[in-house]
Structure 1
Amino acid sequence: MTDKQGYCFHRKLGLPLGVVLFVAALLLPTPEGMTTEGHRAGAIAILMATWWMLEAAPLAATALLPVVLFPLMGVLDAGEVTGAYGNPNIFLFMGGFFLAMAMQKWNLHERIALNIIVRTGTNPSRLVLGFMLGTAFLSMWISNTATTLMMLPIALAVIGQIKQRADGQGIENFPVALMLGIAYAASVGGIATLVGTPPNGVLITQYQGLSPDAPEIGFFQWMLIGVPTAAVLLPVTWILLTRVLFNFRDLTFTGARAEIKGRIQSLGAMNRGERIVLVVWVCTALAWIFRADIGLGVLTIPGWRNIFPNPAYVHNGTVAIAAAMALFAIPVDLRRGEFALDWNWAKRIPWGILILFGGGLALARAFTSTGLVEWLGGKLVLLDGIPPLFVVLAIALMLTFLTEVTSNTGTTAIMLPILGGAALALGVHPLLLMIPATISASCAFMLPVATPPNAIVFDGGHVTVPQMARAGILLNLIGVVLVTLVTYFIAVPVLGIELGQMPAWATQP
């Protein structure tokens, strides 16, 4: 769900409702088997969940509640709470945001997108594919909101040209398919990498928050899961939009190539700033991928971090901040004192997302340290005996449709600790439940309020709510099935998940 102008009814309701539920939860007797601290942590979680899901307060502001309430209510000490906001994975996203901001400063993202579009082809159907590929690729590395905002004026210009110069039937369908294609591709592309979308960041911080011995999810490991997911969902979306729902096969148009070429020419030759950012970006991506050992059957590619005295100390966040420091330090024009990235641009990164990661991790720590995770998991014994496949399918279905009307980041921040605890109680690997929840949180396609890209293209005109809902419901259901299959047939072998067994680190005292 995305922020909208004004303060609507559900937000006005959310503030007092959260407080009422919080007080009511505290006044109830502590349930049998739950610790007093766990009871208080649960009440705080109810308050945060209500405010997050109804967006009664800014998401980042709600994420700061643990800093105040956990120490005051004896749940966690202040040092442990605030330490959650300095987790290494938060610095991974911070560095990634700095890198994305440098790309935007020099318009490198627009050059990349336009060159992808012009090389894909410019008949109407392939034009939609080109926009989707360009949007998805950029969304792997930068904010899907920023990507959509950049692609929108280019798409509107092409739509204007087509309305003036195109021939054939389906001219009214092309704008709908193009706009929806951009919105959906922005969400799908974010699935592919750890830094592509905030729910992925929530997963990696909260998974390791379950136990200090929980292994890290590597950047390359996630790409082995996320890239195939996006690679299947993207063409399926394209076919659905251009061949099934909004057919314009008879439409002919030859002016798109000139429009795109004109925009590329307006950017001029690649300047020094763009070249610096491109080199740093490529080096950073390679450093993320090859940081740790990569096992390929009997072959193992050693990670570059092994050359350092303590390889385990070198985190993806280390790489991200090193890249950011390079951008701050490499000059573009010394005479003018201009560098690849300056603070005027850097300060525009979404700091609130970083705070939200910290709040989610603080919540997960409270769930674990107070025993609330085990208590919640014990209450889910009714699920014991149900095949894990159906549990995964149910989780994917629930998160997909829940995030149509709630914040996907806030929802994952609340749900992942609960699912992690439920997995341990059921005797299965936590990632078996946490991964489908995370990916499904990025698969809300039905409503304008579901994601920022949906809202942006809806506000741009050419798409009605019924049209978005018609396409979105089909994609939601396709996404549920795909996420279930990806979890079982890709995530399980890639991450070494043994079905029906808890990992060794989870069984250690």
Structure 2
Amino acid sequence: MTNLPWKPIGLAAGGIVFAAMLLFYNPVPENPKVGFMASIAALMAILWISEAIPLAATALIPVIALPLTGIIDAGTITKSYVNSIVFLFIGGFLIALSMERWNLHRRIALNIISAIGKRADLMVLGFMVASGFLSMWISNTATAVMMLPIGLAIISKMEDAFGKERTHGLSLAIMLGIAYGASIGGVSTLVGTPTNLAFVRIFQESFPEAPPIEFGKWILIGIPYSASLMLVVWFLLTRFLCRVDPSLTLDRAVIHKELTELGPLKREEKLVLFVFASTVFLWLFRKDLHIGAFNLPGWSNLWSGFANIDDGTIAIAMALILFVLPAQNDSGAHRILENDAFKKLPWAIILLFGGGFALASGFGASGLSQHIGQGFQAIGEVPTLVLIIIICLSVTFLTELTSNVATLSMLLPILATWAVSVQVHPLLFAIPATISSSMAFMMPVATPPNAVVFGSQRIRIAEMARTGLLLNLIAVVFTVIATYLLLPAFIESPMGDFPDWAK
């Protein structure tokens, strides 16, 4: 089975299904665009799941297919690939690249690990917190790649001091802690993981009249969720799943050696830190913050021109500053960021965003959303809690084997229609699905951090699968609880109310 040529099979299956649906599937005879859009969606789903062609290439299909079928004209659909959410991702990624270029991310990680403690279980917490914090701002892949050698150095020292058998649990917990910490931490902020940004734009496409989902608002859910789940995952890893010996203690010399090699905080690091902190401040306090009865006015109220600014504008403005600020060092760099930064941008992810946004636009413009909604009305009597649990379980385990951005891009337009058809607040379906798309802990292929730590050869796939299965289920429970405890503050209205903007 494992030797089957899945990519050619996926390509052939996609073509056959697409052609068959195009010719024979016409559920609404008076509106053939519904069948056309369903055919395009099925083709993209098969190609994304099988990865028969690159994910980004599949994401470009709407540029050709939607105009040809008359669903959306070319000028309109191409705008899905360049919008404020894409610029938020680009700006945030450029700021993250500046942190990586000047090793600020490494300094932050080492100081967090050093500060939390030298006892073995606290050491694991240190790695998880460091991975989680960095993943809030830079890609979880870069976080895992940077944290891995630090973790391996610590493990090597501990094995030399206490032996491999006694430190096996610690070794496993550190490796998994790096991967899981990066995935959990990425949920905290809109820029922490591509799925969060994909959700924001697809939700806007599905509900143009809905209030915008902003950086400061998202963290009302993201940070409490990530912090509490990280503590529970740490407790389970160190006490039960990996059984870390708490009597083991860390020789801080390893961390001190790494920090000494970095030297004192350089001028370039200070500049990057200032730009980074300023960006976070501007994101957080752009709009009024409502926390219970407390209301903090946002800085965008100071001048009418600021009302036209969004989080993407801030990200690009602060990233541009990094191309202006001078660098003074021996490496030959003249600016904090230079031209090579654009070569490092993940253009495939950016195109994948666009494909998801275009797909959402096509669902609405073709009438497919309405058609799906009519089908969902039959299950309207199922309790909302049960529906949320089903969504969380489905997305969590589906993303163990498929791209989380591609999966979410396919599911969110359907979930939006489903919510409207059963008269449930759309965010009750969309946010649990978005969070669950980052909570795949079982398989090395599920997330880049999982793959990075698996590549260290310190973890067997059976160990990751066994540990990840329980944590997947724990994450589902946490996501459901967070939906009911934290979402009311996010939507600023009773969850039972169906909003006017979704009608």
TM band (smaller chain): over 0.9
2:370 maps to which of 370, 374, 398: 374
Q: What does residue range 58-457 of structure 1 map to in structure 2 within 5 Å?
A: 58-166=54-162, 170-249=166-245, 251-255=247-251, 257-333=252-328, 338-457=334-453
1:465 maps to which of 440, 445, 461: 461
Contact 1:10 1:54 in 2 (8 A): yes
The alpha-carbon distance between structure 1 residues 34 and 204, as it changes in their structure 2 partners (threshold 3 A), is farther
Q: Matched residue pairs, number?
A: 501
* Pairwise CA distance, 1:351: 1.5
The residue type paired with residue 269 of structure 1 is P
The residue type paired with residue 62 of structure 2 is P
* Pairwise CA distance, 1:216: 0.7
The alpha-carbon distance between structure 1 residues 153 and 445, as it changes in their structure 2 partners (threshold 3 A), is same
Q: Distance in 2 between matches of 1:298 and 1:243?
A: 40
The alpha-carbon distance between structure 1 residues 135 and 250, as it changes in their structure 2 partners (threshold 3 A), is closer
The alpha-carbon distance between structure 1 residues 232 and 337, as it changes in their structure 2 partners (threshold 3 A), is closer
* Pairwise CA distance, 1:318: 0.3
Q: Which runs of 4+ in 1 moved over 4 A?
A: 334-337
* Pairwise CA distance, 1:382: 2.5
Contact 1:33 1:375 in 2 (8 A): no
The residue type paired with residue 304 of structure 1 is W
Contact 1:429 1:497 in 2 (8 A): no
The alpha-carbon distance between structure 1 residues 155 and 435, as it changes in their structure 2 partners (threshold 3 A), is same
* Pairwise CA distance, 1:251: 4.4
Greater Cα offset, 264-273 or 492-501: 492-501
Q: Distance in 2 between matches of 1:155 and 1:8?
A: 36
Normalised to the residue count of structure 1, the TM-score between the two structures is: 0.95
* Pairwise CA distance, 1:309: 2.4
**Residues 125-159 of structure 1: per-residue CA shift (max 9 Å, x gap):** 11111111100000000000000000111111111
* Pairwise CA distance, 1:449: 1.1
Contact 2:189 2:222 in 1 (8 A): yes
Contact 1:169 1:248 in 2 (8 A): no
Q: Distance in 1 between matches of 2:114 and 2:190?
A: 28
The alpha-carbon distance between structure 1 residues 90 and 62, as it changes in their structure 2 partners (threshold 3 A), is same
Contact 1:121 1:130 in 2 (8 A): yes
Contact 2:167 2:245 in 1 (8 A): no
Identity %: 45
The residue type paired with residue 461 of structure 1 is Q
Q: Distance in 2 between matches of 1:439 and 1:68?
A: 31
**Does residue 44 of structure 1 match 2:40?**
yes
* Pairwise CA distance, 1:419: 0.3
* Pairwise CA distance, 1:68: 1.2
The alpha-carbon distance between structure 1 residues 183 and 322, as it changes in their structure 2 partners (threshold 3 A), is same
Q: Distance in 1 between matches of 2:116 and 2:93?
A: 28
Q: Distance in 2 between matches of 1:90 and 1:34?
A: 36
**Residues 164-187 of structure 1: per-residue CA shift (max 9 Å, x gap):** 112697322111111011111110
Question: Which is bigger in relative contact order (C-alpha 8 A, separation at least 6)?
Answer: 1
Match of residue 18 from structure 1: 14
Unpaired runs of 5+ residues, structure 2, are none
* Pairwise CA distance, 1:497: 4.8
Match of residue 499 from structure 1: 495
**Residues 72-130 of structure 1: per-residue CA shift (max 9 Å, x gap):** 12111011101111121111111000001111100110000000000011221111111
* Pairwise CA distance, 1:298: 3.8
Q: Distance in 1 between matches of 2:175 and 2:126?
A: 12
Q: Secondary structure at the match of 1:295?
A: strand
Q: Distance in 2 between matches of 1:250 and 1:84?
A: 52
The alpha-carbon distance between structure 1 residues 347 and 7, as it changes in their structure 2 partners (threshold 3 A), is farther
The alpha-carbon distance between structure 1 residues 466 and 103, as it changes in their structure 2 partners (threshold 3 A), is same
Q: Secondary structure at the match of 1:479?
A: helix
* Pairwise CA distance, 1:311: 4.2
Contact 1:170 1:247 in 2 (8 A): no
Q: Secondary structure at the match of 1:339?
A: coil
**Residues 318-343 of structure 1: per-residue CA shift (max 9 Å, x gap):** 00000111111111239966111112
Contact 1:427 1:500 in 2 (8 A): no
Contact 2:121 2:246 in 1 (8 A): no
Q: Distance in 2 between matches of 1:380 and 1:493?
A: 28
The alpha-carbon distance between structure 1 residues 334 and 273, as it changes in their structure 2 partners (threshold 3 A), is closer
* Pairwise CA distance, 1:393: 0.8
Contact 2:28 2:34 in 1 (8 A): no
Match of residue 476 from structure 2: 480
Match of residue 3 from structure 1: none
Q: Distance in 2 between matches of 1:308 and 1:325?
A: 22
The residue type paired with residue 45 of structure 2 is A
Q: Secondary structure at the match of 2:304?
A: coil
* Pairwise CA distance, 1:386: 1.2
The alpha-carbon distance between structure 1 residues 11 and 312, as it changes in their structure 2 partners (threshold 3 A), is farther
* Pairwise CA distance, 1:272: 1.2
Q: Distance in 2 between matches of 1:277 and 1:333?
A: 13
The alpha-carbon distance between structure 1 residues 313 and 334, as it changes in their structure 2 partners (threshold 3 A), is farther
